[in-house]
Structure 1
Amino acid sequence: MNSRPSMRPPAGLDQPFSLYLDLVRTLAALAVVAAHFGYFGIFSARQVAAIPDFGREAVIAFFVLSGFVIAYSAEHKNHTLGEYAAARCARLYSVALPVLLFAFLLAALAAGPLHGRVDDAYQLQRPWLYVPFHLLFLGDVWRFAERPPWLLPYWSLDYEAWYYVLFGVACYLRGRRRLLALACVLALIGPRLWLLLPVWLSGVALYRWQRRPHAIGRGAARAGWLLSVLLMALWGWLDPEPALRQVANGAWPFTAIRLGSADRVLADYAVMLIVLANFACARHAGFGLLERLRSPVRRMSAHTFTLYLSHGVVIGAWQTLVPIERGQPGTILALAAAIALVTVALQPLTVALQRALHAGVMAFAGVLGRVPRVVQ
C-alpha cells in the first residue's frame, strides 16, 4: 500500500456516517426487543398486528453492519492477528460470558426452587457441558440447534463468531496455511452457516467499495436512501418471507440437517440488498444533522449489544415471577423499564471485562508471536 497520505483512499467511515450506523444499530436492537415482546406474548394480538415485526430484518442489518465495521477495523486498527483476535474476543465475550452465566443461574432458580417453566431446561442439568458449548458458539454447526435458556437471540452469535474466525483467517494468514485453515473452518461450521455468510461478507464488500471515491451526488444519495426506507416498509407490509421460507425449505438438499435458523435465507438475501442500498446511500447523503445528536446516539449505541442479548433473560425471569396479562400498558412499560435497568447495570461490568479480556489475549498473543497481516 502506498504510504503517502495524499494517495490514501478515504476511510469510508466519516463522522456523520459513523453516527448513522450507530443510530441504525440502536434502532435494530430495539426492533428485536419489540419483536420478542410479540413472540413471548407481552403484546396483545391487536398490538402484534399493529406493530410491524422487523426483528429478523434487524439481525440482517446487524450482519451487514458487522462485516462493514470489522473490515474497517482490520484496515485501520487491528494490524496483526493478535490485535484482531484480542478485539473480537474481548467484544464478544465481554457480553456473552456474563449474560450466559446470568441466564443459566436465573433459569436454574426458576426451574428449581420456583418451579417455573423454562425452555431448554435440560441444559441446566449439565451446565459443565452446555456453558462451554455455547461459549464456543457451536449451537448451529451442522445438525445442532441449541439455544441457551432465555437467550433466543444467541443464535446470531453462533453465526457471527465463526464469520469473525473466517475473516481473520482470510485477512491475516497467507498461502497454503490460509487455504487449509479456511477449508477446516468451513468444514467445521457446516452448511447452515455457509448460507448466511454472503450476508456478512456483503458488509465487507460494501466497506471496500465505500472507501474509494464514487460519484454519488448528495441529492441522488438522499433519494436512494429514502427509496431504501420505503422498500423496507413495503417489505414489512407485504411480508413475502413465509412464501420464500417455503421455497428455501423445499430446495434445501441436506435432508438430514434442518435449515433451522437459516430457513429465511432467501428473504435474508432480499433484505441484505435493501440494507446495502441504504448504507451506500447514507454514506453520501450528508446527514450532518446527526452531529447535533452525537452524545445521545453514542451513549445509546454503546448499550446495544448488551440490550440485544440480555433482554430475553429479563423477559424469562419476569414471566416466571409475575403473571403477565397480555397487552397491558403498565406491564409493557414496567418490563421495558426492567430491561433498560438491567442493560445499564450490566454495562460497567461488560466494559471492565472487555478491557481485561483484550489485555489477556494480547498478552497471550505476545507469547506466541504476532503474525503480520497480508494487505489486501
Structure 2
Amino acid sequence: MTTPDETPPAAAGRNAAIDLLRGLSILLVVVHHVALRIPLRDGALQTFLPRSVLGALSYNGYEAVFLFFVVSGFLIAGNALERWGSLAAIDLRVFYARRAARILPCLVLLMLVLSALHVAGVPYFTIERDGQSLGRAVLAVLGLHLNWYEGVTGYLPGNWDVLWSLSIEEVFYLGFPLLCLATRRETTLLALLALLMLSLPIARAALVGNEIWQEKAYLPGMAAIASGVVSAILVRRWRGVPRMLRSILCVLGCVGIAANLLFGSMLWPVLGNGLMLVLTLGAAVLLFALHGEHAAAPRGTGWLASMGRLSYEIYLTHMFVVFAAVALYRHFEGNPWFGFLWYAPVVLLCWLLGAALAHAWSIPCDRALRRRWLADMQHAPMPSAPAAPVISR
C-alpha cells in the first residue's frame, strides 16, 4: 500500500528519485492485483521471458507495500525535523492535524462509495463472508484495525482489503510523536527505533499459524516504517556525505531491493524472514544516499515519477479499475495468451483516476483543512508548559 506522506508540493522541493521509488512501488501493487486475475505467466510473454522474471513482475505487491512503509517513515520524519528542528519539539496538534487533513478526505469518500456499492450488491464489492458486515468493516477502517479484523475473519473484498496497510501506518503515527516527546534524547530514540527496525524477521517468524495476520500484523509493518525514520535521522546527523560514498550506498540499497524483488524465491531458503529485512534496509540505505538529489527524473521515467506523486490516490482507487478490467476480460472471454495487453491500459486508467481524485478532491480538501485547523491552532495557544528541549545527540 501506499500511504500519504508530506512531500513538499513545490516541484523544486521534490526528490525525483524518491518519487520514482514510490512510482515503482505503486506500479508493482497494480500489476500484482491484475496478475492475480489475468496471470502473466499464462501469456505470450513466457516465450521470451523466464517464468522467474514474470513471477517477479507479478507477485511483489506485498513487498512493494513495505517499500512504501520505509519511504513514508523517511519523508514524514524528515519533514518533521525540517519543520521543528528537533523531534522532541514536535507540536502534537499540528502533526495530527496535518496527517488527518491528508488522509481523511480520500478515506471518507472511499468509505461512502464502497458502502454504496455493497448496499447495491455490486460484484467484487459486496461483503459476503460469514462473520463480516459492512458496519464492522467501516469501524475497522476508521478504527485503524482492519488488518486485525481480516486476520480474525478472513479477507475482505479487494478494495477494502488494500486498506490494511493504512491501519498499520496510522497507528504508528499516532504513537510516533508521543515517543519522540517521551524519549527527548535522539540517541535513545535511535536505539528504540533500531530495535524495532531489526525486529522485522523475528516478528514475522513468531506470527505462524495465521497467514493473513503474519502478512498484516502491526509489528512487521512498523519495523519497516522505523527503518525510514532511522534513515531520516541519520541524514540530519551526517550532512555532507561524500559523493563517492553516496554512490556506493546507492548501489548497496539497489542491490538489497533487487535481491528481494527479483531473486526472493531463490534467497528465501537461505534468509527466510530475514529477506524482508534485506528489502527494508536496502530501501532505507537508498533513501539516505538519495537525500538532497533534486535532479529531474531521467528521460522516459516521468510517468513513473508521476505515479509516485499520486501513489496515495492510486492505491485507494486502483481496484475499481482492476475489477472493471477483469469483468470485461471475462465477459469477452479474453484469451490468456494475450492477457498482457490488458496491463498498460489498466495502469494508465489507474493513473488517470488517481490524478482526477487528487486534483478535484484530495488536494483542495487538504489545503482547506490545513488552513482551517492550523489557523485555529495558532489562535488557540496551548496551556503553558516547560519548553521542550532540543534533542541531544
| TM-score, normalisation: structure 1 | 0.72
SS of alignment partner, residue 40 of structure 1: coil
User: Paired residue for 2:116, among 105, 112, 124?
Assistant: 105
Contact 1:103-1:150 within 8 A present in 2 as well: no
SS of alignment partner, residue 258 of structure 2: helix
Show the 5 A alignment for 1:172-211.
172=181, 192-211=217-236
Matched, 1:269 2:277: yes
User: Paired residue for 1:64, among 67, 70, 87?
Assistant: 70
**Cross-structure match for 1:312:** 319
Contact 2:22-2:309 within 8 A present in 1 as well: no
User: Relative to 1, partners in 2 of residues 1:235 and 1:322: Cα closer, same or farther, differing over 3 Å?
Assistant: closer
Q: Between Structure 1 and Structure 2, how many residues are aligned? A: 330
Give the drift of 1:234: 3.4
**Distance (Å, rounded) in 2 between the aligned partners of 1:237 and 1:301:** 21
Give the drift of 1:83: 0.8
Show the 5 A alignment for 1:19-34.
19-34=16-31
User: Relative to 1, partners in 2 of residues 1:85 and 1:41: Cα closer, same or farther, differing over 3 Å?
Assistant: same
Show the 5 A alignment for 1:37-186.
37-41=34-38, 43-46=40-43, 47=45, 49=51, 50-51=53-54, 52-53=56-57, 54-77=60-83, 79-109=90-120, 112=121, 116=123, 118=125, 120-122=127-129, 126-141=133-148, 144=152, 149-151=157-159, 152-172=161-181
Contact 2:25-2:64 within 8 A present in 1 as well: yes
User: Relative to 1, partners in 2 of residues 1:237 and 1:128: Cα closer, same or farther, differing over 3 Å?
Assistant: closer
Deviates more, 1:228-237 or 1:303-312: 228-237
User: Paired residue for 2:249, among 224, 235, 240?
Assistant: 224
User: Relative to 1, partners in 2 of residues 1:340 and 1:22: Cα closer, same or farther, differing over 3 Å?
Assistant: closer
Give the drift of 1:319: 3.2
Q: Which AA in structure 1 matches 2:217?
A: R
**Cross-structure match for 1:351:** 363
User: Relative to 1, partners in 2 of residues 1:39 and 1:292: Cα closer, same or farther, differing over 3 Å?
Assistant: closer
**Cross-structure match for 1:256:** none
**Cross-structure match for 2:286:** 278
Give the drift of 1:163: 0.8
| TM-score, normalisation: structure 2 | 0.69
Give the drift of 1:223: 3.2
- Segments of structure 2 that go 5 or more residues without pairing to the other structure are 1-10, 85-89, 185-195, 197-213
- Segments of structure 1 that go 5 or more residues without pairing to the other structure are 1-13, 176-185, 248-264
Give the drift of 1:117: 5.0
Give percent identity, aligned residues only.
Answer: 20
Q: Which AA in structure 2 matches 1:164?
A: Y
User: Relative to 1, partners in 2 of residues 1:230 and 1:199: Cα closer, same or farther, differing over 3 Å?
Assistant: closer
Deviates more, 1:17-26 or 1:364-373: 364-373
Q: Which AA in structure 1 matches 2:169?
A: E
Give the drift of 1:269: 1.5
Deviates more, 1:350-359 or 1:287-296: 287-296
**Distance (Å, rounded) in 2 between the aligned partners of 1:86 and 1:123:** 37
Deviates more, 1:229-238 or 1:29-38: 229-238
